[in-house]
């Protein structure tokens, strides 16, 4: 069985517009920019959230976009960032015109979530636990 070498997961996503995606993930959400790495299928831009690497990849050839939504197809459907001050983050995102997939709401006692769409329509979830 697998044994973790670090306490987090990393995620890579292919994007259609690297500038818009870096503006969203780095500039709007505040992920730390680690660097750029050429890979055989494009250019990977590594961002960091806690100890997780969030890899935004500009492919050499942009493949077709899949359906948007949680129940639209099988596979990985969204990414979750566990954060502090969900209300403040949501207000800032609203002020920047970011489209919400699910406005802020309490789903269990002490657990609040919100979901937005990134520039390609991928679902990004924010969770705050009290």
Q: What is the reported pLDDT for 76?
A: 87
Domain count, the chain: 2
Residue 117 belongs to domain with CATH number = 3.10.180.10
Q: Are residues 81 and 129 in the same domain?
A: yes
**CA triple 5-83-115, angle to 5 deg:** 110
Q: Helix, strand or coil for residue 57?
A: strand
Q: What is the reported pLDDT for 62?
A: 93
Is 3 inside any structural domain? no
Q: Are residues 58 and 103 in the same domain?
A: no
Q: Give the containing element (helix H, strand E) for 88.
A: helix 86-95
Burial level of 122, CB count in 10 A (0-12/13-18/19+)?
buried
38-88 per-position pLDDT tens digit:
999 999 999 999 999 999 999 999 999 889 888 898 888 999 999 999 999
Q: Which residues contact 28 (CB under 8 A, 6 or more apart)?
A: 93, 96, 98
Q: Are residues 51 and 88 in the same domain?
A: no
Q: What is the reported pLDDT for 104?
A: 97
Q: What is the reported pLDDT for 69?
A: 87
* pTM strictly above 0.85: yes
Is 4 inside any structural domain? no
Q: Are residues 32 and 58 in the same domain?
A: yes
Domain assignment of residue 111, given as a range:
77-130
Q: What is the reported pLDDT for 13?
A: 96
89-120 per-position pLDDT tens digit:
999 999 999 999 999 999 999 999 999 999 99
Q: Which residues contact 1 (CB under 8 A, 6 or more apart)?
A: none
Q: CA–CA separation, 102 vs 60, rounded Å?
A: 32
Q: CA–CA separation, 127 vs 64, rounded Å?
A: 30
Residue 8 pLDDT class (50, 70, 90 cuts): very high
CB 31 within 8 A of CB 25: yes
Determine the average pLDDT of the residues in 20-37: 98
Q: Which residues contact 92 (CB under 8 A, 6 or more apart)?
A: none
């Amino acid at each position: 069985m697998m044994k973790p070498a670090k306490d987090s997961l990393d995620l890579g996503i292919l994007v259609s517009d690297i500038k818009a995606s870096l503006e969203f993930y780095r500039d709007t959400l505040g992920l730390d920019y680690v660097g750029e790495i050429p890979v055989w299928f494009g250019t990977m831009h590594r961002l960091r959230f806690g100890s997780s690497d969030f890899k935004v990849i500009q492919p050499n050839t942009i493949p077709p976009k899949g359906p948007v939504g949680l129940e639209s197809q099988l596979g990985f459907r969204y990414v979750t960032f566990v954060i502090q001050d969900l209300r403040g983050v949501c207000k800032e995102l609203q002020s920047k015109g970011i489209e919400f997939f699910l406005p802020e709401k309490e789903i269990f006692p002490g657990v609040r979530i919100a979901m937005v769409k990134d520039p390609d329509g991928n679902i990004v979830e924010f969770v705050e636990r009290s």
